[in-house]
Amino acid sequence: LLNSADINKAAIVAQNMRTLVEQNKLQGVRSITASFGVIEYSLAVDAEKNFTLLDNSLYLAKSVGRNKIICNGNLQLFGKEPITQIEWSPFFICGNAIIDNDH
């Protein structure tokens, strides 16, 4: 919770934390990464909707290849980080059997 930060500043904080986690090398552990969901809390909607957007942002960050940041539901790329894979997950189920079965 960053009281005085807008979404862009919060994304930079999340990116710095993500980078620090990624750079941390633990003996006997292959690699550690972190994904973050970041939102700009809106007083125009209730707390549950804010939390849902935050939760969905984090879930999407993990689904698009992990080690990513999603801000207000939008992927934030820093530098030249490509999306290397998108893992199919229940988050993407749309309810259309043809589409869902052809993932």
Average pLDDT in the 59-83 region? Answer: 73
Output the pLDDT for position 90. Answer: 67
Tell me the mean pLDDT in the region 10-20.
92
Say whether pLDDT at 100 is over 60.
yes
Confidence at residue 62, expressed as pLDDT on a 0 to 100 scale: 82
57-65 long-range contacts (CB < 8 A, ≥24 apart) are 59/89, 59/91, 60/91, 61/35, 61/36, 61/37, 62/35, 62/87, 63/87, 63/89, 63/91, 63/92
pLDDT for position 91: 64
Percent with pLDDT over 90 in the chain: 18
pTM: 0.68
Average the pLDDT over 12-29 and give the result. 89
pLDDT band for position 78 (cuts 50, 70, 90)? low
Instruction: Name the average pLDDT for the chain.
Output: 81
